[in-house]
Structure 1
Amino acid sequence: MSTRILRSGIRFGEGPRWHDGRLWYSDFYDHAVHAIDLDGNDERIVEVLTQPSGLGWLPNGDMLISSMLDRKVLRWDGSALHPYADLSAHFTWHGNDMLVVPDTGRTYVGNFGFDYEAFLAEYGIDGLFGEPGPSSTVICRIDPDGSEHVAADELIFPNGMVLTPDGRTLIVAETLALRLTAFDVAADGSLSNRRVWADLSEHFGAPDGICLDAEGAVWIAAATTPRAMRIAEGGEVLEVIETSMNCYALMLGGPEGRHLFMMTAPSSESHAVADVTTAA
């Protein structure tokens, strides 16, 4: 295994997706979605002043973008941004990562649930993972007809999500609960049978972005540490990759799906990284 820096100069990279031969990603503090090929040729696709996060594609090829600050989902048709969904009635703080089911367009979106930076300033890291602890929140589901539903509640900072190849299990990273949580997915997209897929508290591996590999293991960006971890159902750590800075998001891609792209930064706090360039 070898590693290399594909691109430096990223403010804060999130939501990486492999699509049409390139890695697409959001840069929070550049306020834009980018796409980069394996040679490092980077294109700034579209500006999103309300801070982009999760990405995904509808069956017609339009891209959906989780717009964090206004708690909306936007649609990019290749030339302009359009409103797609307004989740502000359901979300209590910034929108977060997102999963779009490619063959149906059904979409699942998480949110912070509380003012993360204000809470951290008042209570510190011990307060995030101990007492008083963060507020719980919801994942919203947007169906192909545009209707919005609360898909799951009582989640602690729902973040990256993956769907198993058979479409029957959704796994979500509960970042501040230090776990991966799984749900059964019904034909109508509703979620049930909540269960802990992997408890990561022993490793203090706060899962941020996640992706699923061909063997059914989940790669997690362990946001509280400078590493990516490959996790089996039940929590066994199968592999660890050390990074130079904290790892916040990752995605498998490349011609054979065997390249692991990792987005790193010195911190997730806006005041610490908004004017600092990082790497992927």
Structure 2
Amino acid sequence: MVLDAAAGEPRWLWSRVPHPAVLMGRLINWCDVRFNKGNHQRLLGTMTMIELCIVAGAIGWLIEKAPGPVLDIIVLAVLLAQRSLVQHVQSVGDALRLSLGDGKLAVAMIVGRDTRDMDEAAVARSAIESAAENLSDGVIAPVFWFAVAGVPGLLIYKIVNTADSMIGYRTPKHDAFGWAAARLDDLLNLIPARLTAALIWAVTSRPDTRAILREAPLHRSPNAGWPEAAMAHGLDIALSGPRSYEGTTKDYPFVNADGERALSADHIDQAVGVLWKTWGLALIIALLLALF
């Protein structure tokens, strides 16, 4: 965790060799092209995910057979995303201070929704939502599964999470083939998402837990709503709400609807502070678990 926070994703390295997440993405894309056709797409997608998990677990098992902890440490550090997450989110705040147009360009790098008609508040809200969700997916969940099942657990989680981001969407192409990837990702994030919410709650103003427990399950995602609700109530801001995907407006309800809605770059700064505080608390817990 410390190595990732200090070094992040060094461009000099990953511009020369492919990042492991990129290799996972290429493998998943190959499977999508090769097997996502004909009949029985849900079955084929399920078998594909089983095989990907077996391959990832086997590679993790081989890595753990290496003498000493150095290789384990490197693999975990490479597959964590604390520093890169902070940099991407903070870049939106920095760009938004320059102009709304710069802010839209920056937030388009980290979210999949339409950005053309966003105002300042929508740009900031999108960046903060991405911060909360990716804190769980990119930091807490990998650490959790490494702690539970070592490098095999870490690699299985990462390939499932990558597959969900690529084929886990409810589109005509992937609704059936990506069904297993989406459901497995939901399962593997069940505990980490709620753990992330608890950590965010602990490092913010410790808002009324009843509000988080009430609103998180109403989110369109069974897991993303937990860190998002904790962030919204912890900073007393309104998140989620209406947004547009591929020209179609989705009228999602606000999380913490009574919170501040006129968001700005200053609120992004506050969210980045929460990212670091949550990381620090998670590091302390990891150290205590390792010692005792």
Whose Rg is larger? 2
Q: Which has the larger strand fraction?
A: 1
Q: TM-score, normalised by structure 1?
A: 0.27
Q: TM-score, normalised by structure 2?
A: 0.26
* Higher relative contact order (Cα pairs below 8 Å, separated by 6+ residues): 2
